[in-house]
Amino acid sequence: MAFEHKSVLLEETLDNLAIKPDGIYVDGTLGGGGHSYEIAKLLTTGRLIGIDQDEAAIVAAGERLADYKDKVTIVRSNYCDIRQVLRDLQIDHVDGILLDLGVSSYQLDTVERGFSYREDAPLDMRMDTRNEKTAKDIVNGYSEMELYRIIRDYGEDNFAKNIAKHIVRMREEKPMETTFELTTAIKAAIPMKLRVTTGHPAKRTFQAIRIELNRELEVLKDTLQDMIELLSPEGRLCIITFHSLEDRIVKSCFRTNENPCICPPRFPVCVCGKVSRGKVISRKPILPSEEELEQNKRSKSAKLRVFEKA
């Protein structure tokens, strides 16, 4: 299956990365290489480092970027290891970093990966197939309270308590193995009249389990500071998020780096000594155009935020 993936907010991201032909750039979520391909086209003596933990993405991006292989280095890793990846390549600072978060179209469309609630498949959801833990371990191993917590916090689902209860009840009869078994439990927990009006009932729970399994929010939170520090002066960090939890983390981090002062408002001058690391370029998140929304359903909840290093 081809690694098809329409790059979300492509033009907006390229514009905001402000690519210099001789610059060094990192795509921390390489995927099928859509963003990277367009970045590589703009480089002359510059360099692009593509990072992804998904083996299928590494293979697909390698093929897509073959024409630019003299400028592109692809590394199988998680972007949380960006500091080490750059150290191994003897790179101190870069001119731009891009993250396109969430699950790729290819991962959703590859049925056996278990990301989609629309197809029956083993409960997997691993972005890095080298990990031993799968979604099946969470669904069958977490307590009702833990399931409730992740579905409430990561899925932002009003029926989290009921869904957790139904999952536990169903798995007591036999362990859950497949996505459709999980979907059955979720549907049973949500009143029929609401199912008609709120989209697929399993969407939020699947998102929650995927985020928990792949530690998506912790990785983002723990790595943003590193990425800002790795930027050269006037280097830019562009992050595309797909749900409010990610967006909140990015917005908060960017704001703190722009204005890190912790002095009480009544102080006439700053005495804490914390210095601004740069500025937020996007006061409001950059959203997809009407045209993109029509052409690419996946772009619906996308938001781009941009930070420039001082």
Write out the residue range of the structural domain in which residue 158 sits. 131-214
The predicted pLDDT at position 193 comes to 78
Q: Are residues 249 and 166 in the same domain?
A: no
For residues 150 and 210, state if they share a domain. Answer: yes
Q: Is residue 97 part of a domain?
A: yes
Residues 5, 34 contacting (CB under 8 angstroms) = yes
Does residue 125 lie in a domain region? Answer: no
> What is the pairing mode between strands 303-309 and 231-241?
antiparallel
Number of domains comprising the chain: 2
Q: Examine the domain organization and report whether 16 and 101 are in the same domain.
A: yes
Are residues 191 and 256 part of one domain?
no
pLDDT score at 191:
87
Nearest to 139 by CA among 202, 218, 220: 202
Neighbours of 287 (CB within 10 A): 16
User: Of 214, 247, 270, which residue is a domain's last?
Assistant: 214
- Give the amino acid at 287: L
Q: What is the chain's length?
A: 310
pTM of the model: 0.94
State the Cα–Cα distance between residues 190 and 183, nearest whole angstrom: 11
Q: Is residue 114 part of a domain?
A: no
Which of 226, 302, 231 is closest to 11 using CA atoms?
A: 302
**Confidence (pLDDT) at 209:** 98
Same domain, 101 and 82: yes
CATH number of the CATH domain containing 166: 1.10.150.170
pLDDT at 1: 46
Each residue's pLDDT tens digit in the chain (310 positions)?
Answer: 445 557 899 999 999 999 999 999 999 999 989 999 999 999 999 999 999 999 999 999 999 999 999 999 999 999 999 999 999 999 999 999 999 998 887 788 889 999 999 999 999 999 999 999 999 999 999 999 999 999 999 999 999 999 999 999 999 999 999 999 999 999 999 988 776 667 789 999 999 999 999 999 999 999 999 999 999 999 999 999 999 999 999 999 999 999 999 999 999 999 999 999 999 999 999 999 999 999 988 899 999 999 999 9
